[in-house]
Structure 1
Amino acid sequence: MSPETVRGTRGEDRSNYTREESRAIRQRSLRLLGSLLSPLRALIILTAGVVILSAVFRAVGPTLIAFGIDEALPRAVEDGDWGPTIGISLAYLAIGGGGAALVGWYVVLIAKLTQAVMIELRTRIFRHTQRLSLEFHEGYTSGRIISRQTSDLESIQELLSGSLSELIDAVLLGTFTLIALFLIDWRSGVLLVCMGIPLTLLMWWFVIESQKGFRATRTVSARLIVQFVETMTGIRAVQAFRREKRNDKTFAKVSDDYRRANLRVVNLFGVLDPGLVLLGNITVALVLLWGAFRVTDNALAVGALLAAVLYVRNFFGPLEEVAMFLNSYQSAVAALEKVSGVLEEEPTVQDPEHPVALPVARGALRFDDVSFRYGGADDPRVVLDDCNLAIPSGQTIALVGTTGAGKSTLAKLVARFYDPTEGRLTLDGIDLRELDPADMRRAIVMVTQEAYLFSGTVAENIALGKPDATPEQIRAAAIAVGADEFISALPDGYDTDVNKRGGRVSAGQRQLVSFARAFLADPAVLILDEATASLDLPSERLVQDALQTLLADRTAIIIAHRLSTVAIADRVLVMEHGRVVEDGSPGELIALGGRFAGLHAAWEDSLA
């Protein structure tokens, strides 16, 4: 894998990277951060100005104290002149009050900056993951996506809102403190700089080790969320197959891994924090001892020594905040790597650069030498092999065959969830890869076995494909597929919220709503992928009656194991191993005595 092509989705849940991969990931993360901050330049400049001024105000304090002790206080004691002392006191109060006001302003500004960045980042993730192809979502678990939107963004927000502001404040205050220390007693300043050598080594060690630790915690955190989400999503299967104890053990193992990863980071702070305190105390002791000798020799004033000690304490004090920043920084960097990886992922199904419009689709489909491999051209596993097929406008096609024969793959190609690896697939003579996406989505609608209802009313769910539909049109679509009766019986009819008490519907009823949704959209091509599998026999008969009317003027592709659904088809395609092995009307294929005839005979025997 070259550093330019490192992606954060296929291999992101790793804690170890090569040097080239780490460099590429850092560059990717920095690009993302730069794109988020560049529109906020004015706010950033204002925030920087406020924090710099605040640090200057606070750095002046010990110098005023030194001047007060060494200059103003002797004049008050010896000459009775209290003016300088009062003046110094008022100046100290003014600078302290001004510094506090600036700190408050800075907190407000950094909060505005943080929220602006977070809403942009959160929106980008949501928009981008919606735009990514089905291939991404089939290979990237929902738990990992949730982790990107929750724990990862929380880590980044914590860095921006708290730790980063503390770091900036600490760095500026430390810089101005060091400058002021050199101005008041350069010898103490040199001593402090010398102590910076072990301080730098300690910080460098922590940065290296914590980077490894926080990458591990982000990886395990994502696994923890994935385990929880998958268990809760599949809770029916968990309870049906009594997997509770096994899942308990698996979750306990992942939780323990998470605990160990966090303890590893905590142990690093167990070394860093005492090390900072020790270095600070040693430096204060050395400055105080050396300063005391010079005070006795009249080479240093008492006030200057006090100011030097205060400056040293002020210098080491913010280093605790730097340590806390490093804590949040490493966690946020690991999170930013994951987020930037998702945002760098490109859709495998790309929108055309120069889309061809198709305002009115007739629904004629054609496969020209179409082959498909899920892993791309280099994948030896051929799912659809050299398919040549013409489906005239208005014809109803039934796809039958054993599991894995390629039926659903063919349907996904028509819906352009995937693009052919080889060959071309056209709608009314236009390659789907060149067709305007809006026209294509309007012309082709797919209904799957997994009927999903979104939050909202039943009417809103039916109108999903046609938001401007009138209540009359919505009800007409429901009547057409036999859904009106059960919808009218709900507590609030079509205004019933499907996620509230009383709005619960069965799997078959959800499928009827999805049928109504598809028919209201009025596509030129309708794909039904095992769409009647969750319906009972009376509901299936009702839908079949509706299908014969509703499919009369549109192209339809029906995938079904129930051969009762196949009976309404004009033409049956029998698929085996990615190839169409039989093609003809139901009656013709039964008369031929081939594979379809065998399936039909087995189905009739099952009814008996």
Structure 2
Amino acid sequence: MSVTGVEGEERHDFTQAESKQIRARSLRLLGSLLLPVRGKVVLAMLVVVVSTAAQVAGPALIAFGIDRGLPALLEQDWMPLAATGVIYLVAGVSGALLIAWYTVLSARVSQTVLIDLRKRVFLHTQKLSLEFHESYTSGRIISRQTSDLDAIRELLDSGINQLVQGILYMSFTALALVLLDGTSGLVLLGALLPLFILTRWFQVRSQSLFRQSRVASASLIVRFVETMTGIRAVKAFRTEKHNESVFGALVESYRRVNARVIQLFGVFDPGLVLIGNVTVAVVLLVGGFRVADGQLAIGALLATLLYTRRFFDPMEEMAMFYNSYQSAAAALEKISGVLEERPGVPDPVAPVDLWEARGRVRFDNVQFAYQADREILPHVDLDIPAGQTIALVGSTGAGKSTLAKLMSRFYDPTDGRVRLDEVDLRDLHPKDLRRAIVMVTQEAYLFSGSVAENIAIGKPDASAHEIRAAAAAVGAHDFIESLPNGYDTDVNKRGGRVSAGQRQLISFARAFLANPAVLILDEATSSLDIPSERLVQEALQTLLADRTAVIIAHRLSTVAIADRVLVMEHGRIVEDGTPNELISGTGRFATMHAAWRESLV
């Protein structure tokens, strides 16, 4: 997996080769989204072709009515004019009905595509490895699901309609004009050159500006989300003024980009109007002389003027389409970049089933580095028998959490193997792996919903009795019962209704309900007060029986329940023994334990 590839897409100074590769990737994504609805797309195209032809027929019918119908009416023959009127009415009504049908068809296509894309982004980002989520901020993920998808929705809902109808309308109008009067068609052809130059000028300059606009918009969202998510830290360190300055600079950057976009339209829109008016004036001048010479009928002149004027009508809408297109194209590039990411921890091609794990964990010559030049674990050989409780201790950055993440297969070793019951974790079926190994981290995250629903995440089909039993086992039952609605109490956003220690107890109950063969506690007692920690330690002694457990803790009081202590320094295990053996020695753990005891006095 290459997280740097996604990071790079926040730039807008791509090389030509990079831009070509990104466009190809975006087109592949768009093609895969349209493939399931290709039948509806074809039907919509047929409908819009017929409806546009019906709309374009109007001026030609008017010319026929004036040049043929009126002279016939003067001779008491009203049929040509009446027939023209009826056909004009039928063409107008049918064109309107077909446009309405096309609008419904295109809306259904766009909604189907958006639902598919939204699901893909959500499901794919869930599958991506921890490495991706630690590098790709939550604000940027939210931006992909909100502003980027909104830009694509705007394009599909209205932009595509404007483009398709505009191109067809202009094409049919030009064809009708040439068939009606070739000379006027040549005048229109001459106007295409300045029109092309103006459009190309607009396209080249707007392409980078719209991408910059998307980047600036995403930066605003990222900053806002991160500030609101970390509002406690903002309040604690009084960073409001600094945040105001940073956010103000981002807003100003976004304003400047949009101001430059508006300036582009300030040239482009009047340019279109000027070219259109000049063309109409030339057609009128040339046509007027030809009418005077008897080369062109009055009705035909009127029709050519109408066609010439109508030819330029969709141009402004198509310019607005280009606005939507640029925004959507930049959004699609970012979304396709996320969807192109591959998990750094892929599912096995031929998974091995392990229905009943005993819990033996082995590290065979394991090496690990987050980056090529940043080795965390240079060499680890470790055998943890089933049912043994291990305590991992050491200074910050010693590699304890990395060891736990490898054991949970959040990451794969750079070299060597991690095995559960002699099965390499890379070969183990994902469902069996998640059922066998559960990690409780320092961040006790609670989802919106009731306390019972949060505990039941560990076992979705658990009964109310099982949920209560798990809560009681970790000492959470009493405080849950004291909540306004007991186990049915809504914990609110991110568990804001309960304290940090209570959130941790709920996460413990969730893990114990899952009943894993291997339980990893990564600094999981750090947010508990002393009474709560004692309750949990009492529960752990019962619940960790006959279960492999790895406890990572700075509080050495937690180590007392371990069968074995491993001391880590610089990614290596430097001491290994029972708590009593290491305390009675003269090594690193004995020094740490003595310092901890002195801190309690």
Q: Same fold (TM over 0.5)?
A: yes
Shift in CA distance, 5/359, structure 1 to aligned 2, threshold 3 Å: closer
**How far apart are residue 113 of structure 1 and its match?**
0.7
Match of 1:530 among 513, 520, 523: 523
Conserved? CA contact 1:135–1:348, under 8 Å = yes
Scaled by the length of structure 1, the TM-score of the pair is 0.97
Q: How many residues align?
A: 601
Q: Write the deviation string for residues 40-65 of structure 1: whole angstroms up to 9, x where unpaired.
A: 01100110011001100011100000
The 5 Å alignment of 1:95-494 reads 95-375=91-371, 379-494=372-487
The residue number in structure 2 matching 1:86 is: 82
The residue number in structure 1 matching 2:63 is: 66
Conserved? CA contact 1:398–1:572, under 8 Å = yes
The residue number in structure 1 matching 2:497 is: 504
Q: Which range is displaced more, 193-202 or 125-134?
A: 193-202
Structure 1 stretches of at least 4 aligned residues deviating more than 3 Å after TM superposition: 4-8, 500-503
User: How many Å separate the matches in 2 of 1:396 and 1:509?
Assistant: 24
**How far apart are residue 294 of structure 1 and its match?**
0.3
Match of 2:50 among 34, 43, 53: 53
| Equivalent residue letter for 2:504 | Q
The residue number in structure 2 matching 1:27 is: 24
Q: Which range is displaced more, 104-113 or 19-28?
A: 104-113
Shift in CA distance, 262/500, structure 1 to aligned 2, threshold 3 Å: closer
Shift in CA distance, 396/502, structure 1 to aligned 2, threshold 3 Å: closer
**How far apart are residue 225 of structure 1 and its match?**
0.8
Conserved? CA contact 1:491–1:502, under 8 Å = no
User: How many Å separate the matches in 2 of 1:7 and 1:476?
Assistant: 46
The 3-state SS of whatever aligns with 2:296 is: coil
User: How many Å separate the matches in 2 of 1:371 and 1:259?
Assistant: 49
Mind listing any 5+ residue stretches in structure 2 that lack a counterpart? none
User: How many Å separate the matches in 2 of 1:187 and 1:324?
Assistant: 31
Shift in CA distance, 6/166, structure 1 to aligned 2, threshold 3 Å: farther
User: How many Å separate the matches in 1 of 2:375 and 2:475?
Assistant: 40
| Equivalent residue letter for 1:372 | F
| Equivalent residue letter for 1:168 | V
User: How many Å separate the matches in 2 of 1:519 and 1:400?
Assistant: 23
Conserved? CA contact 2:361–2:384, under 8 Å = yes
Q: Write the deviation string for residues 458-484 of structure 1: whole angstroms up to 9, x where unpaired.
A: 111111021111111111000000000
The 3-state SS of whatever aligns with 1:318 is: helix
User: How many Å separate the matches in 2 of 1:325 and 1:286?
Assistant: 28
User: How many Å separate the matches in 2 of 1:503 and 1:247?
Assistant: 24
User: How many Å separate the matches in 2 of 1:222 and 1:139?
Assistant: 16
Shift in CA distance, 499/5, structure 1 to aligned 2, threshold 3 Å: closer
Shift in CA distance, 260/194, structure 1 to aligned 2, threshold 3 Å: same
Conserved? CA contact 1:8–1:340, under 8 Å = no
The 3-state SS of whatever aligns with 2:583 is: helix
**How far apart are residue 501 of structure 1 and its match?**
13
Conserved? CA contact 2:446–2:495, under 8 Å = no
User: How many Å separate the matches in 1 of 2:123 and 2:496?
Assistant: 29
Q: Which range is displaced more, 508-517 or 204-213?
A: 204-213
User: How many Å separate the matches in 1 of 2:533 and 2:584?
Assistant: 26
User: How many Å separate the matches in 2 of 1:503 and 1:450?
Assistant: 13
Shift in CA distance, 33/500, structure 1 to aligned 2, threshold 3 Å: closer
**How far apart are residue 80 of structure 1 and its match?**
2.0
**How far apart are residue 382 of structure 1 and its match?**
1.1
User: How many Å separate the matches in 2 of 1:6 and 1:458?
Assistant: 35
What RMSD, in angstroms, separates the aligned Cα atoms of the two structures? 1.4
Q: Write the deviation string for residues 423-460 of structure 1: whole angstroms up to 9, x where unpaired.
A: 11100001100111100000000000100111111111
The 3-state SS of whatever aligns with 1:9 is: helix
The residue number in structure 1 matching 2:559 is: 566
**Aligned-pair identity (%):** 65
Shift in CA distance, 64/217, structure 1 to aligned 2, threshold 3 Å: same
Conserved? CA contact 2:3–2:135, under 8 Å = no
Shift in CA distance, 200/69, structure 1 to aligned 2, threshold 3 Å: same
Q: Indicate whether 1:41 and 2:34 are aligned.
A: no
| Equivalent residue letter for 1:316 | F
Scaled by the length of structure 2, the TM-score of the pair is 0.99
| Equivalent residue letter for 1:600 | H
The 5 Å alignment of 1:579-598 reads 579-598=572-591
**How far apart are residue 6 of structure 1 and its match?**
10
**How far apart are residue 83 of structure 1 and its match?**
2.0
User: How many Å separate the matches in 1 of 2:2 and 2:494?
Assistant: 49
The 3-state SS of whatever aligns with 2:375 is: coil
User: How many Å separate the matches in 2 of 1:440 and 1:224?
Assistant: 39
The residue number in structure 2 matching 1:554 is: 547
Conserved? CA contact 2:504–2:524, under 8 Å = yes
The 3-state SS of whatever aligns with 1:403 is: coil
The 3-state SS of whatever aligns with 1:387 is: strand
Conserved? CA contact 1:528–1:557, under 8 Å = yes
Conserved? CA contact 1:349–1:417, under 8 Å = yes
Mind listing any 5+ residue stretches in structure 1 that lack a counterpart? none
User: How many Å separate the matches in 2 of 1:5 and 1:170?
Assistant: 41
